[in-house]
Amino acid sequence: MNRTLRLIIVVASMSVFLVSMIVDHQIRRQSGTEVILDLEPVDPRDLLAGYYVIIQTPLHILDANALAGDDEFRPGNDIFVVLEPGADGDWHPTSIYHARPDDGIFIHGKVRRSWDETIFAHFNLERYYAHEETAQILEHRRRGNRDRLRWIVSVESDGRAIIRGLEINGERQIDFFL
């Protein structure tokens, strides 16, 4: 096999891999159960990655005493948080487990740290990359405390979650990548 043919095969394989990652991401965003989470963004800037909004939701700091399920979570442990919709339209954690629950809508994450009965968890929802203007607008709206900002999240049956978009004062703004 000559060099040109090998190069074409390598380039084609890498392209197929990248396209499959994009398609998988888009399918998961569109097919999961939609969950709405209240949020408090902060607008930092990463010199290498660009502008993003740091997200904190009710899932990120959990009070183990107020939730049913398992106890004694340690840093690095898997955590499965069962969610249920509230009267306000937001989804709220109701129970926490070390292993995947048999039923209900749940989100899978990792315990970052725990202190007493407070669990700090990570769900791959902590950063939302945006254009500079969008990140600044979100930060401005949050600081003004006049707008209600909520994440629209797609949760798969295995508990993986992907941000679909944002809701500002009840107006949905869904991101589409394809």
**Among 37-51, 84-98, 157-171, the range of highest mean pLDDT:** 84-98
pLDDT digits (tens, 9 = 90+) for 26-46: 777 777 777 877 766 554 555
Other CB atoms within 10 Å distance of the CB of residue 144: 8
Closest CA relative to residue 79, chosen from 62, 103, 54: 62
Domains of the chain by residue range: 32-174
Please report the pLDDT score of residue 41 as a whole number: 53
Mind listing the pLDDT tens digit for each residue in 108-149?
999 999 888 899 999 888 777 777 777 677 767 666 666 777
